[in-house]
Amino acid sequence: MSGMQVQEKKTVTLGSLWRDKKSRGVIMQIIAVIGILLFLGNIVSNTVENLDRLGVKVGFDFLTEPANYDINQTLIEYDSSDSHFRAGLVGLLNTLLVAACGIVVATILGFTAGVLRLSHNFVLNRLMQVYVEITRNVPVLLQILLWHGIIIHSLPVPKKAEAIMDVVFATNRGVFLPQPIPQEGFGWVWIALLVAIVFAVLFKRYANKVQVETGKLIPAIWIGAAAIVGLPLIVFMLLGAPVEMSYPALKGFNFKGGFVIKPEFMALWFALSLYTGAFIAEIVRAGIQSVSHGQTEAAHALGIRPNFTMRLVVIPQAMRVIIPPLISQYLNLTKNSSLAIAIGYMDLVATIGGISLNQTGRALESMGIVLGIYLFISLFISALMNLYNKRVALVSR
Amino acid sequence: MKKLLPIAVSLAALTAMNVSASTLEDVQSRGVLKCGVSTGLAGFAAPNDSGQWEGLDVDLCRAVAAAVLGDSEKVEYVPLTSKVRFEVLKSGEIDVLSRVTTWTFTRDASLGLNFAGVNYYDGQGFMVPAALGVTSAKGLDGASICIQTGTTTELNAAEYFKLNGMTYEPVPVETSAEGRQNYIAGRCDVYTTDASALAAQRSVFEDPTAHVVLPEIISKEPLGPVVRHGDDQWLDIVKWSHNAMLNAEELNINSKNLDERAANAKDPAAQGLLGSNEAKLGAMLGLDKKWAYNIIKQVGNYSESFERNVGKSTALKLERGLNALWTNGGIQYAPPLK
């Protein structure tokens, strides 16, 4: 600022610009932008200079070097001789898996609890209140640790595990389930499923058209659902059930075969779903309550059945209130999944931002990658939900 | 605006300039040594019942403080996780890192750091419950293994199992407390880390005898203090603080007999180390004549430090083994004080 005043005396043009309110505002903004840029430039040049002085090279070439460590949950093939890049990819997929599973369960849980909290049934109502208030008010990290502790301490070790229905084993090293392994010809079942989905969508459109033109109701949703389940099933049977089951069996230290859900994944999934579900429940409750009771009464007065009143009158209006905060909750859940590190779930932070970082010492680069990916995931979810929001938002006519 | 920019730029350039005095001057003007240690590893660096830090790694910090400041108590301990340790050292928040850090090629060559010696020769081992009946690491095919992340440990395990054609389920754990919990609950069959740390972990179990450490040592883990690149004087000081303790043991000088030895004119080696004759070893490092005297007086020689923190009389019950002096069949070998 002192610099500015000196200039003011020297040049008449600058002085008059400064006295003018509008141009002063512009000048101040330019100064602010330059200040911020200089500050950022300073940090970057300082870092580069310091690293240079220590003889540390900045670069991403380490990503192609072999990672040399193993990961216990891999959705794609991975071996310790694969690159750091692939290890990071395995971690990213694990993050996306737990985020996606968490979002689905949290949404179901949240909508159920939100609606039940408005129920006139005293017990249900209070039960949901207890759920919401307890899970919402305990830090999610503690809940993750609690679930992990419960799972590893309460479930038996593999050697003492007893079978549930002969084929399922719940142990503190995971729940082992039989896994169907598709054999030759199974591709037809996928094709049948695809055909059924296309049919269901087209049929729903046709039903809507019929309803608009004639007022006749066709139960398109049920027929569509029947097609989606039925058609692949029929094809599957006709092909003579082309799958082989892989059953878990105790061999040495652990179960082999089948499909395993690791305790770390379960703990993270439960904790995140329950925690975020509680927030969603409150959002849903607020959304429904924001629709004035007059709307329901008006719908009833027009002779619309309660079921349709909810589906066609209340929920569409409630959704406008629900969607924006719901986006935030989805983003929160995704970002909270990075707490996985506390229980050793190998997510993005634990792989590229953890072990790779440590082995290569490339802290700046690794953290940069992790930050960038989280930013991208969040913006992507946000964009998707905003798209949906636009569809349900109030259209001004 | 045109006149403003150069002012701002030169200001920014000024703040970006790095005014870095030598680490020695920094520490002396600050009057306290900042030393990065473990977040709590019995025998190496852990606070005792009265809150004082103790351990083999802590003794190294104390030795450097005694040499540089004349007082082994003038240390500020900065507990660090394995993940942040190198960044904290590089950024200058600490003066020396003494945190069971394995000296490896990659770390030495690519991280802008220098290793100043080895204060404990370690190797990675496996611990299993005795009830499991396993007697060799070769019998661990298919086991679940708790591994502390962010260390050389997971690389060694991956390599060992691959070489021997065995499979395993890695169970990554972040802290030793978490590792213990997983191991005790049976989430993993095996706990693997440096053999000294296994001994430390076992010492805090309810029944230490119910767990055995398998005979295989699958890696070399030379643990030592680390400093930043680019300050050779400071590297020398840390290196020779450790070597002074080793040389003292070799010369049979300890915290009890050093005054007697320093006064003995027929003992030039001891007098040189302790700064009581004309030898100017301290000055060559930029330190006081009494630098090594202070180390031995206040911290003791290597043997005293070893026995006090991890030796036979402690809960860890570690043998000297590789860490015996070269004269006693070990590989601890300090260059001569000449």
**Best interface-test mutation with A: which of B85, B87, B128, B187 has the largest number of A CBs within 10 A?**
B187
**Closest by Cβ to A42, choosing from B12, B91, B154:** B12
CA-based nearest distance A19→chain B, Å? 15
Please list the residues that pair with B35 across neighbouring strands. Answer: B77, B96
Q: State the CATH number of the domain containing residue A148.
A: 1.10.3720.10
Per-residue pLDDT of A160-218, as tens digits, reads: 888 888 788 999 998 999 888 888 878 888 899 999 999 999 999 999 899 888 888 88
Q: Are residues B215 and B232 in the same domain?
A: no
**Which residues in chain B are contacts of A363 at CB distance < 8 A?**
86-87
Tell me the per-residue pLDDT of A220-275, one tens digit each, with 9 for 90 and over: 888 889 988 998 889 888 888 778 888 888 888 888 888 889 999 999 999 999 99
Question: Of the residues B219, B245, B280, which one is the last residue of a structural domain?
Answer: B219
Residue B116 and residue B161 share a domain: no
B90 contacts A152? CB cut-off 8 A? no
For range A338-353, the mean pLDDT:
92
- Looking at residue B291, its pLDDT comes to 95
Of B8, B159, B172, the CB nearest to A38: B8
Q: Which residue of A has its CA nearest to B13?
A: A42
Q: Does the CB of B220 have a partner CB in chain A at under 8 Å?
A: no
Residue A100 included in any domain: yes
Cβ distance of A252 and B171 shorter than 8 Å: no
* B186: contact with A, CB 8 A cutoff: yes
- State how far residue A132 is from chain B, nearest Cα, in angstroms: 29
Closest CB to B171 among A57, A344, A355: A344
- A267 and A367 part of one domain: yes
Q: Are B180 and B95 members of one domain?
A: no
**In this structure, are B117 and B29 located in the same domain?**
yes
Q: Which domain, by its residues, includes B146?
A: 124-219
Q: Do A103 and A49 lie in a common domain?
A: no
Task: Residue A184: count other Cβ atoms within 10 Å of its Cβ.
Answer: 7
Is residue B40 situated within a structural domain?
yes
Residues in B closer than 8 angstroms to A53, CB to CB, are 18, 230
**Whole domain around residue A16: which residue ranges?**
2-53
> Same domain for A20 and A108?
no
- pLDDT at res. A393: 74
Q: Are residues A136 and A266 in the same domain?
A: yes
Is there a domain that residue B327 lies in?
A: no
Task: Check A358 against B87: CB less than 8 A apart.
Answer: no
Which pLDDT score is estimated for B119? 95
Do A253 and B161 meet the contact criterion of CB atoms below 8 Å apart?
no
Q: Do B185 and A42 touch (CB under 8 A)?
A: no
Residue B194 near residue B153, CB atoms below 8 Å: yes
Give domain status of residue B79, yes or no.
yes
Total domains present in chain B: 2
Same domain, A7 and A151: no
Both A295 and A384 in one domain: the answer is: yes
Residue A175 forms part of a structural domain: no
Pair A40, A119 in one domain: no
Averaged pLDDT, A99-110: 96
Cβ B32 vs Cβ B76: under 8 Å: yes
3-class secondary-structure state, position A162: coil
User: Is pLDDT above 70 for A75?
Assistant: yes
Closest residue to A42, CB basis, from B16, B182, B186:
B16
| Claim to verify: residue B106 and residue B235 sit in the same structural domain | yes
Chain A nearest-CA distance from B160, in A, is: 11
Q: Tens digits of per-residue pLDDT, A267-326?
A: 999 999 999 999 999 999 999 999 998 999 999 999 998 888 888 888 889 988 898 899
Contact status, residue A171 vs residue A263, Cβ threshold 8 Å: no
Is A126 within the bounds of a domain? yes
Q: State pTM to two decimals.
A: 0.80
- So what's the pLDDT on residue A396? 62
Q: Are residues A37 and A143 in the same domain?
A: no
Do B73 and B29 reside in the same domain of the chain? Answer: yes
Cβ-defined contact of A56 to B151 (cutoff 8 Å): no
| Domain end position, chosen among B161, B193, B219 | B219
User: What's B138's domain CATH number?
Assistant: 3.40.190.10
How far, in Å, CA of A216 to CA of A169, rounded?
Answer: 51
Three-class DSSP category at A177: strand
Shared domain check, A38 and A112: no
Q: B residues 307-336 near A, CB within 8 Å?
A: none
CB contact under 8 A, B158 and A46: no
Q: Is ipTM strictly over 0.90?
A: no
Beta bridge partners of B78: B36
**Residues A48 and A109 occupy one common structural domain:** no
Are the beta carbons of A54 and B4 separated by less than 8 Å?
no
Residues A131 and A7 in one domain: no
Instruction: Examine the domain organization and report whether A14 and A92 are in the same domain.
Output: no
Query: B 71-90 residues with CB below 8 A of A?
Result: 82-83, 86-87, 90
pLDDT value of position A276: 97
In a domain, B14, yes or no: no
* B278 plus B153 within the same structural domain: no
Answer whether residue A178 is part of any domain: no
HSE (side-chain half, CA atoms, 13 Å) at A197 = 6
Type of residue at A360: T
Last residue of a domain, one of B219, B244, B264: B219
Residues 6 or more apart whose Cβ sits within 8 Å of residue A196: A227, A228, A230, A231, A232
Give the contacts of B238 (CB within 8 A, at least 6 positions apart): B64, B96, B116, B117, B225, B227
Residues of chain B with pLDDT under 50: 1-19
Check CB contact of B189 with chain A, cutoff 8 Å.
Answer: yes
Please give the tally of structural domains in chain A: 2
Confidence category of residue A32, pLDDT binned at 50, 70, 90: very high
Is A350 close to B172, i.e. CB distance below 8 A?
Answer: yes
pLDDT at B130: 93
